[in-house]
Amino acid sequence: MTYQELESAFQRPEFSVNTFIPLVIASNEVRNKLIQNLIQETHINVYYRSYYLIDAVSRIDPQLFYEYWDQLIKLSTHKNSYHRSIYHWILANLISVDHERKFDAVKDMYFAQIRDQKMLTGLEAVKDIIRISAYRPDLEEEIIQLFLNEAMLQVYTDKQIDRFHYFFLTYFDTILDKYRDERLLDFVRNCCFAKNANTAKKAKQIMKKQI
């Protein structure tokens, strides 16, 4: 199997990621092409399907794509929200092999993407920060303060903010299982009155465990 076959497959109505995973794992040249597609291509079939493959393989063996970390940073300010989300998703995959602590250099920019111009991109940023927290327990207090900072969400409507609060609650729940923190409990109590039913339900479930 060759990159030319993969390139042809990008243009078909149906695309099977699993078919091409062995090729991506085996070929550094193909990995280079996929990263190039991600950064330079404008056709959605090409760059998004390239992302599908990068995502799948970087979950299997993140080390294969760690060398592209600095190139992926270029996507963080891309005008297209898909690309900004892709940047978040892939870096979250690579964090487990970030032995050089490259994340420290982009952390503030990464965290700031919570207030993206696209609400769904901001939500994806929150989910990825939570994923990263599993590999960077040293960032726990910083993430707590980030999620408690309501100013980060001022660009969104109250209805949208409730959706962010749901994911903040999932993170705080894991912390409250380890130790009691009144700051987090105050946040949870307030969320019990959220207009979003899922957010209010989650908050009440957490409070019930804390009684």
Does the residue 15 lie in any domain?
yes
Confirm whether 6 is domain-assigned.
yes
Residue 117: pLDDT band with limits 50, 70, 90: confident
Residue 193 lies in a domain: no
Residue 98, helix vs strand vs coil:
coil
CB 155 within 8 A of CB 115: yes
Q: What's the mean pLDDT in 93-100?
A: 97
Checking if the pLDDT of 74 tops 90, the result is no
Q: pLDDT digit string (tens) for 124-151?
A: 999 999 999 999 999 999 999 999 999 9
Domain count, the chain: 1
What are the DSSP calls for 40-95, one per residue? H---HHHHHHHHHHHHHHHHH-THHHHTTHHHHGGGGG-SSHHHHHHHHHHHHHHG
* Within a domain: 19: yes
Residue 165 falls within a domain, yes or no? no
For residue 29, the model assigns a pLDDT of 96
The CA-based diameter of the chain, rounded to the nearest angstrom, is 61
Residue 160 pLDDT class (50, 70, 90 cuts):
very high
Domain that holds residue 53: 1-61
Q: Tokens for 201?
A: 């339900």
- Are 43 and 33 contacting, i.e. CB atoms less than 8 angstroms apart? no
Residue 138 inside a domain? The answer is no
Q: Please indicate, yes or no, if residue 199 is contained in any of the structural domains.
A: no
Confidence of residue 183 (pLDDT cuts 50, 70, 90): very high
In a domain, 110, yes or no: no
Model pTM score: 0.91
Average pLDDT, the chain: 94
